[in-house]
Amino acid sequence: MKKWVMMILLCCGVLWGCSEKTYEPREIVSETDVCKICNMSIVHNAYAGQIALKNGDYEIFDDIGCLMEYIVSNGDEEIGAAYIKDASKNEWIDVFEAVYVYNKEYWTPMNYGVVAFDTKQAAQEWMTQEGEGKLLHYKDLHNFNWGIHE
């Protein structure tokens, strides 16, 4: 009997070890968190982003533009998950699933003018309220001209 219990526990352990690892977003600490790319202190949490690496480390960003610069420079093999703040709800959402809106008049910490939303409807509501913009998806961000636009 004891042997059986041991076997079951061992199998459970092996199965648990093989299960897919989950990556949770962590809270921003304004005292110590600075953007991995531009070095700015994170004070405008509504625009912050983060990448949970597979090794357990977190990289923090002040703007989606800086987060994309990191992905473009380092690739996405080591990325467990990536999160960005939803501009309307101030909640973490998946960078790869989010809907983005660009308008050069939108203010963001790096002035890139791109904000994120969890749904297309939320993005459209934002555009109605703040001024028309251009809808973008994650794949569009790779070729986006990050910088200030005249």
Partner 1 sequence: MKKIGLALLFFLFMSPIVYAEFDIQEAIDAASPGEVIHIPAGHYQGNFVVTKPLTLLGEEGTEFISKNNDPALRIENTATISISNVELSGKSKAIVASNVDGLELSNIYIKDAYTGVHIQRSKNIHIHDIQVTGSEGHYAEKGNGIAIYKSEDILIENNLIEQMQDGIYVEEVNSIVVQHNNVTQSRYATHFMYTRDAKAFFNNYLSNVTGFMVMMTTGILLENNTVENHSDYNGYGMLLYDVQRASIAKNIIKNNRTGLALQKSSMIQIDTNNFQMNQTAVEGTKVSNNTKASNNSFTGNILTARSDQLGFQLQSNYYDDYTGIDIEGNGYGDVPYVAMSSFGQWMVRQPVYQYFVASPSVVLLTTLDQQINKTESRVLVDHTPRLVTEHEIENNKLNVIQTLAGLLLLVGSLWLWKRGITK
The contact set with partner 1 (CB under 8 A) reads 30-32, 34, 38-43, 45, 110-111, 147-148
Q: Which is nearer to partner 1, 102 or 117 (CB)?
A: 102
Backbone angles phi, psi at 145, to 5 degrees: -85, 90
Q: Give min distance, CB of 74 to partner 1, in A.
A: 13
Please give the span between the terminal C-alpha atoms of the chain, in angstroms, as a whole number: 75
User: In the sheet where 49-53 sits, what is the strand order?
Assistant: 58-61, 49-53, 79-85, 92-94
Q: What is the smallest separation between the CB atom of 27 and partner 1, expressed in angstroms?
A: 13
Q: Which is nearer to partner 1, 39 or 128 (CB)?
A: 39
Taking the least distance from each CB to partner 1, the nearer of 62 and 118 is: 62
36 vs 117 by CB, closer to partner 1: 36
Q: Hey, what amino acid is at 60?
A: I
* Cα–Cα distance for residue pair 33/57, rounded to 1 Å: 13
Nearest Cα to Cα of residue 110 among 146, 58, 135, 150? 146
**Closest separation in Å from C-beta 147 to partner 1:** 8
Q: Tell me whether residue 13 or residue 147 sits nearer to partner 1 (CB atom).
A: 147
List 94's β-bridge partners, or say none: 83
Give the nearest distance from C-beta 119 to partner 1 in angstroms: 28
Shortest Cβ distance from residue 111 to partner 1 (Å)? 7
Using only the alpha carbons of the chain, give its radius of gyration: 19
